[in-house]
């Protein structure tokens, strides 16, 4: 997931950062810009999709309108990811159509169950927050690895861990059944985004050392 403020603070242009991260092994890009005006966000989506969408899926966080506008303009955007406080996912599915990817954030058993109902139209869930995170002001209370593993096991949909995920978490998340880990600071705040992505990909592939 992207954070343009973190990228700027680390001396990076966000489009260049995303390109380097994909070159390093990132397998999906979710553009999340909570405070960016719609027109500016649309321009960013268009530029990022031009740079990397032939290599990896590009999702738009929250802003279904921006996703639809980018798609109408010919951008290769794969779908959207929404939170519990955004538009209802059934409505999102109706807006984006059957082929778009729709992801939903979840942190409780009830939310996971609701997401798994066929009529909801959800393709995957982002479960979290794993750890405390500074990149999302309204993040739920951190779950920790034990509770994360329980929720992943309960999910009827592919699950990605979100919230404060770092390199050391990835082997254990994979061992718990997660399909991936979403990171922000680990790449957006890195001095070398390509090398950071390579290190994260290597950590994901490593065997977990489960001590408890």
Is 32 among the residues known to form the active site? yes
SS (H, E, C) 54-67: CCCCEEEECCHHHH
CA separation for the pair 79, 95 (Å, rounded) = 11
One of 4, 49, 105, 176 is an active-site residue; which one?
105
One of 63, 136, 174, 194 is an active-site residue; which one?
136
Coil, strand or helix at 105: strand
One of 4, 32, 107, 185 is an active-site residue; which one?
32
Coil, strand or helix at 22: helix
Beta strands in the chain (DSSP E): 29-31, 58-61, 79-82, 101-106, 124-127, 159-161, 180-181
CA separation for the pair 30, 62 (Å, rounded) = 10
For residues 49 and 69, is the Cβ–Cβ distance under 8 A?
no
Is 136 among the residues known to form the active site? yes
Is 118 among the residues known to form the active site? no
Annotated catalytic residues are 32, 105, 136
């Amino acid at each position: 997931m992207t954070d343009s403020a973190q990228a700027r603070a680390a001396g990076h242009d966000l489009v260049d950062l995303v390109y380097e991260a994909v070159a390093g092994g990132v397998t999906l890009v979710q553009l999340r810009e909570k405070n960016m005006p719609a027109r500016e966000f649309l321009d960013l989506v268009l530029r990022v999709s031009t740079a990397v969408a032939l290599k990896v899926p590009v999702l738009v966080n929250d802003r279904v309108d921006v996703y639809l506008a980018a798609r109408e303009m010919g951008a290769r955007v794969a779908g959207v990811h929404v939170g519990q406080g955004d538009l209802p996912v059934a409505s999102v599915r109706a807006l984006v159509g059957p082929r778009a990817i729709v992801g939903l954030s979840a942190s409780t058993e009830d939310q996971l169950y609701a997401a798994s109902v066929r009529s909801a139209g959800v393709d995957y869930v982002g479960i979290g927050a794993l750890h405390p995170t500074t990149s999302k002001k309204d993040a739920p209370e951190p779950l920790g690895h034990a509770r994360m593993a329980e929720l992943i096991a309960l999910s009827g949909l592919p699950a990605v861990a979100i919230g404060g995920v770092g390199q050391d978490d990835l082997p254990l998340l994979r061992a718990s059944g997660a399909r991936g880990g979403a990171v922000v600071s680990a790449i957006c705040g890195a001095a070398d985004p390509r090398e950071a992505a390579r290190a994260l990909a290597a950590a994901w592939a490593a065997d977990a050392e489960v001590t408890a």
